[in-house]
Structure 1
């Protein structure tokens, strides 16, 4: 569907809105039989995660889908983990010490087994960590471990990671699914796979005397991965206690279920939600024109159309100052009222058309789902107003703009800027690329902070990415799961669901 101008898109929007709601209501409501099961779970906690069936393998260059992440974090913990509130807690490491200069992390490991009778050794963990941080091995987090100098099995109980430069957010990276330990498809808990049948993975707790009781898994879990409509229908019939992995794409389906407000929970997630500039052809060839597209989008209207409390529109790439001196870089047009932004953007597009006979066309790659259709139509309105013809294409198809929807693993500007760097083909500009590289090589935290600020400012000028909002993540949670907490990592470890 191609659109141009308000008159063309508004009938389309109204039709899409009716279709999305009707489809969601039909798919879900037809399967519902009441909300039931409000007390303590009877037997295993039944968890449905929206997404494809997980595999028993470490993830690679692409971000792990929600079911894969949930499984790996349950059976293949890393040295450290996240608690229900998204804070760091012990994993395989009982405790750790960070040297005063921030260059040495010494982990004391607890006793753990790959399987009964097969103890985990520090040498095995050291080898696994070296592979995970090796840029040539395919782990998407490897670029963030460039400061790792040595990984040493000091004793059977002590593992040391030595850095060449301090990294204050180093531990946060170790909590990610990619940094968990697997050996022959076996992990170290807090769960083991007890069986698989009809798409359900049975997870059994591992008794661990070395682990604090409040951090142990104390109940079994029945985990399944499925489409949003099926997960929600199961929840509505009282056959699921928890639905995880919800995004903006399938929120309309959740709302069609009409759950109690206390059960539809939104994470205050941080990260990137916006359009990456994946082509520099035509209108996108100049930073000024890329900025014209960015300034034309009415983020307040976009966020309001989803009706999510406290969902934040974004103008900057980095959400806060984080470790940079001063606040994040804002585009030069940020202070202008919306009407002036539109007029300025329309003028830039008109100037481009003066040298080109056709209307500029923009292919936008988005996932499938009612939320993506709503997002597209909102963008189509705004870009249509400035004279751009918009075409929606499948997510994996060639495109000019491609959605990025990713939760940040830590509060470092490095993650945001590296995720959008010239190294992956986005037009961040030479100045931004040089500054980001210099931040990685900086010998002091102050120098690193300054270079990150320079890179952020260069990105704001070159516009390799059009921020729209913070990532939207939702869950459906039974009242009995009193340990569930929303958090800015959108992380919900299954062994904490019943903890007070």
Structure 2
């Protein structure tokens, strides 16, 4: 398959270039979305996709199922499915369709496509999430069964991930064209824009409708730096701004006038500091715990003024569906002052053990990106750690940093996603072989009580080893013009493009 950016281009018209040429919003009914990022962020090749690449892949390719605007699973290539009572078998009935090359979309071809995807995802965290898949069977002409070693209630959400599309031959709901900026515009914007257009209903597995085009519109996706994306929205040149993170949140007006415009996702995931290696002041679990104890999480985020943001000292997001409550928040019986006294004492003991003159403070480096929000976060963390004689600085070389900022939204609402991010096989920082063993055992446990206990033991092991310093939930935000349909905040912070390209009725 040709990469999305290599497809045949059409002439650039005023309507297609509305966000750059100033032709006027909606001159031909387009819906414009500004994406905070670069053109490279929207590349949709391979299995390691950026957030922007996931949007592009989900619009132009299809898997068995997909995620809608609310983050809920809807049919795609599979028109319906059933789950057996024991939760170990998912059976899908495929719609009557063909692949983009004209060959039959049979159960056998879907099985082979799924197997290829699973092989390609080996060595990734998503591959670990999918590891309970034991067998994929082609049962009849249009029926496929996925068998599991242990129940995965959220398997449909996993199968809806853009990396799980099948065949990658343009079998999704939309076509894509890359629009180059005109020479007169290149000083202002150098990135190309992406034009998405719905396919006819028959090519989307839907009944044909003579006036179907009245219900859809073209969608123009414009990658832009944060300040320009916000200006496009303010000037009326964009209906929605996507891709907002903590990096550029300070650029947004979050006062009363922005209510109904600034949309904060109730995202779950990881937002904290990962320990790269057990060395220096981070060589022992008790010393790593000292760093975690010193942080006042609500105070770290207070300058961002995000209503409803939840701090946490847990590695796994609290209150997930089915959470048995076996793991709670840390240091609940200690005040911040008591925690910092303990942390300062441990740091001082470490300093006293160093050869030669005792340093005034421990120095730690943090790999953290650039941006007004991240600069503010770094300063807040540095001010807090200074209270226990730790000097936190930005890492000159991320490859040698002591700590790494992790800011990642979960793919599915299950504790195992969180645990899989710290698997030793990923080689992304300090890990625990014992915790990995508990996770593997859980995938062979059919008793739900035993399974929950093993998952809790894995989280407790990672917590005791202090491989990660949680802060709370990741922050994802968008700007959405009043009255816009096809957008909904959701826990996966995933906002597919096709619903936005539907004309509100």
Task: Pick the TM interval, shorter chain.
Answer: 0.7 to 0.9
Q: 1: CA distance between counterparts of 2:391 and 2:207?
A: 59
The equivalent position to 1:84 in structure 2, one of 62, 69, 72, is 69
Q: CA separation of 1:160/1:190 partners in 2, compared to 1, >3 Å: closer, same or farther?
A: same
* Residue deviations 1:216-272 (CA, integer Å, cap 9, x gap): 983221112222122122222221111111000011223399973211110010111
Whether the aligned pair in 2 keeps the contact of 1:330 and 1:460 (CA below 8 Å) is: no
* Residue deviations 1:197-216 (CA, integer Å, cap 9, x gap): 33111111022354489x99
Cα deviation, residue 467, structure 1: 0.7
Whether the aligned pair in 1 keeps the contact of 2:264 and 2:475 (CA below 8 Å) is: yes
What is the TM-score when the length of structure 2 is the normalising length?
0.84
The equivalent position to 2:50 in structure 1, one of 45, 65, 77, is 65
Q: CA separation of 1:314/1:401 partners in 2, compared to 1, >3 Å: closer, same or farther?
A: same
- The equivalent residue for 1:44 is 30
Cα deviation, residue 135, structure 1: 6.8
- Whether 2:333 is the aligned partner of 1:335: answer yes
Whether the aligned pair in 2 keeps the contact of 1:313 and 1:470 (CA below 8 Å) is: yes
Q: 1: CA distance between counterparts of 2:307 and 2:486?
A: 22
Q: 2: CA distance between counterparts of 1:443 and 1:382?
A: 45
| More deviation, 322-331/162-171 | 322-331
Equivalent position SS for 1:441: coil
Equivalent position SS for 1:274: strand
Equivalent position SS for 2:301: helix
Q: 1: CA distance between counterparts of 2:363 and 2:107?
A: 56
Cα deviation, residue 324, structure 1: 4.1
Whether the aligned pair in 2 keeps the contact of 1:302 and 1:378 (CA below 8 Å) is: yes
Whether the aligned pair in 1 keeps the contact of 2:110 and 2:166 (CA below 8 Å) is: yes
Q: 1: CA distance between counterparts of 2:104 and 2:227?
A: 42
- The equivalent residue for 2:383 is 381
Equivalent position SS for 2:443: helix
Q: 2: CA distance between counterparts of 1:182 and 1:43?
A: 32
* Residue deviations 1:289-331 (CA, integer Å, cap 9, x gap): 1111001011111111111111111111112253342243433
- Whether 2:192 is the aligned partner of 1:193: answer no
Cα deviation, residue 139, structure 1: 4.7
Equivalent position SS for 2:286: helix
- The equivalent residue for 1:263 is 261
- The equivalent residue for 1:325 is 324
Equivalent position SS for 2:258: coil
Alignment of 1:8-407 (within 5 A): 43-53=29-39, 54-60=42-48, 64-115=49-100, 117=102, 120-134=105-119, 137-183=122-168, 186-198=169-181, 199-209=192-202, 210-211=205-206, 218-255=216-253, 260-322=258-320, 323-331=322-330, 333-356=331-354, 357-358=358-359, 359-393=361-395, 396-407=398-409
Q: 1: CA distance between counterparts of 2:217 and 2:382?
A: 48
CA RMSD, 1 decimal: 2.9
* Residue deviations 1:397-444 (CA, integer Å, cap 9, x gap): 321110111111111110101112333344444442322221123233
Q: CA separation of 1:379/1:56 partners in 2, compared to 1, >3 Å: closer, same or farther?
A: closer
Equivalent position SS for 2:140: coil
- In the comparison of the two structures, how many residue pairs are matched? 461
Q: 2: CA distance between counterparts of 1:346 and 1:378?
A: 18
Q: CA separation of 1:258/1:57 partners in 2, compared to 1, >3 Å: closer, same or farther?
A: farther
- Whether 2:463 is the aligned partner of 1:460: answer yes
Q: 2: CA distance between counterparts of 1:334 and 1:422?
A: 29
What is the TM-score when the length of structure 1 is the normalising length?
0.85
Equivalent position SS for 1:141: helix
Whether the aligned pair in 1 keeps the contact of 2:436 and 2:458 (CA below 8 Å) is: yes
* Residue deviations 1:7-31 (CA, integer Å, cap 9, x gap): xxxxxxxxxxxxxxxxxxxxxxxx9
The equivalent position to 1:436 in structure 2, one of 431, 435, 439, is 439
Whether the aligned pair in 2 keeps the contact of 1:166 and 1:444 (CA below 8 Å) is: no
Q: CA separation of 1:41/1:112 partners in 2, compared to 1, >3 Å: closer, same or farther?
A: farther
Whether the aligned pair in 2 keeps the contact of 1:272 and 1:469 (CA below 8 Å) is: yes
Whether the aligned pair in 2 keeps the contact of 1:439 and 1:451 (CA below 8 Å) is: yes
Equivalent position SS for 1:273: strand
- The equivalent residue for 1:419 is 421
Equivalent position SS for 1:171: helix
Give 5+ residue unaligned stretches, structure 1. Answer: 1-30
